[in-house]
Amino acid sequence: MAEGRSEELRRRRQRYLVSMLIRTVCFVLAVVTTGPARWLFILGALVLPYVAVVFANTARRKPENDSDVLHPEPIGALPPPPPGESSPPSARDDD
Protein backbone atom coordinates (compact mmCIF):
# COMPACT_ATOMS: atom_id res chain seq x y z
CA MET A 1 0.00 0.00 0.00
CA ALA A 2 1.22 3.50 -0.83
CA GLU A 3 2.44 5.76 1.95
CA GLY A 4 0.32 8.87 2.59
CA ARG A 5 1.76 12.36 2.24
CA SER A 6 1.54 13.16 5.95
CA GLU A 7 3.31 9.89 6.82
CA GLU A 8 6.05 10.65 4.28
CA LEU A 9 6.55 14.16 5.72
CA ARG A 10 6.74 12.74 9.25
CA ARG A 11 9.37 10.23 8.15
CA ARG A 12 11.39 12.93 6.38
CA ARG A 13 11.25 15.22 9.45
CA GLN A 14 12.47 12.40 11.68
CA ARG A 15 15.38 11.68 9.34
CA TYR A 16 16.33 15.38 9.34
CA LEU A 17 16.08 15.57 13.14
CA VAL A 18 18.39 12.56 13.57
CA SER A 19 20.92 14.12 11.18
CA MET A 20 20.87 17.40 13.09
CA LEU A 21 21.30 15.58 16.41
CA ILE A 22 24.38 13.84 14.98
CA ARG A 23 25.63 17.25 13.82
CA THR A 24 25.18 18.65 17.33
CA VAL A 25 27.16 15.74 18.77
CA CYS A 26 29.90 16.46 16.20
CA PHE A 27 30.07 20.10 17.36
CA VAL A 28 30.33 19.09 21.02
CA LEU A 29 33.00 16.47 20.28
CA ALA A 30 34.93 18.99 18.17
CA VAL A 31 35.11 21.26 21.22
CA VAL A 32 36.18 18.59 23.72
CA THR A 33 38.64 16.59 21.58
CA THR A 34 42.05 17.47 20.19
CA GLY A 35 44.18 16.35 17.30
CA PRO A 36 42.94 14.80 14.05
CA ALA A 37 39.67 13.65 15.62
CA ARG A 38 38.71 17.30 16.17
CA TRP A 39 39.04 17.98 12.42
CA LEU A 40 36.92 14.96 11.57
CA PHE A 41 34.17 16.17 13.89
CA ILE A 42 34.36 19.69 12.43
CA LEU A 43 34.13 18.22 8.94
CA GLY A 44 31.12 16.15 9.98
CA ALA A 45 29.44 19.21 11.49
CA LEU A 46 29.98 21.15 8.27
CA VAL A 47 28.92 18.43 5.82
CA LEU A 48 25.94 16.98 7.70
CA PRO A 49 23.53 19.90 7.02
CA TYR A 50 23.88 19.40 3.26
CA VAL A 51 23.46 15.64 3.55
CA ALA A 52 20.50 16.04 5.91
CA VAL A 53 18.68 18.40 3.56
CA VAL A 54 19.30 16.18 0.54
CA PHE A 55 18.03 13.09 2.36
CA ALA A 56 15.07 14.92 3.90
CA ASN A 57 13.98 16.26 0.53
CA THR A 58 14.30 12.92 -1.22
CA ALA A 59 10.79 11.60 -1.57
CA ARG A 60 10.22 7.88 -1.72
CA ARG A 61 9.85 6.82 -5.33
CA LYS A 62 6.67 5.22 -6.55
CA PRO A 63 7.00 1.56 -7.43
CA GLU A 64 7.35 1.02 -11.13
CA ASN A 65 4.10 0.11 -12.76
CA ASP A 66 3.86 -1.05 -16.35
CA SER A 67 0.80 1.14 -16.88
CA ASP A 68 2.92 4.27 -16.29
CA VAL A 69 5.63 3.34 -18.76
CA LEU A 70 5.42 3.86 -22.50
CA HIS A 71 6.35 0.74 -24.45
CA PRO A 72 6.62 1.68 -28.14
CA GLU A 73 6.28 -1.01 -30.76
CA PRO A 74 9.50 -1.78 -32.63
CA ILE A 75 9.65 -0.08 -36.01
CA GLY A 76 11.91 -2.57 -37.72
CA ALA A 77 14.52 -2.09 -40.42
CA LEU A 78 14.16 0.34 -43.32
CA PRO A 79 13.21 -1.27 -46.61
CA PRO A 80 15.92 -1.47 -49.31
CA PRO A 81 15.89 1.30 -51.96
CA PRO A 82 13.91 0.56 -55.13
CA PRO A 83 15.95 -0.89 -58.03
CA GLY A 84 17.69 1.72 -60.14
CA GLU A 85 17.74 4.30 -57.35
CA SER A 86 21.11 5.07 -55.81
CA SER A 87 21.72 4.43 -52.16
CA PRO A 88 22.03 7.47 -49.91
CA PRO A 89 25.50 9.03 -49.64
CA SER A 90 27.64 7.73 -46.80
CA ALA A 91 28.61 9.90 -43.88
CA ARG A 92 32.24 9.67 -44.97
CA ASP A 93 33.28 12.02 -47.77
CA ASP A 94 36.30 10.87 -49.82
CA ASP A 95 36.85 14.18 -51.72
* Predicted TM-score (pTM) of this structure: 0.54
The H-or-E segment that residue 14 falls in is: helix 5-32
Give the angle subtended at the CA of 11 by the CAs of 24 and 57, to the nearest 5°.
Answer: 75
Q: Tens-digit pLDDT profile for the chain (95 aa)?
A: 456 788 888 888 888 888 889 889 999 999 999 999 999 999 988 998 888 778 777 766 655 555 445 666 667 777 788 887 666 666 555 55
Q: Which pLDDT does position 69 carry in this prediction?
A: 55
For residue 43, which of 23, 15, 66, 63 has the smallest C-alpha distance? 23
CA-CA distance, 47 to 30, in Å (whole number)?
14
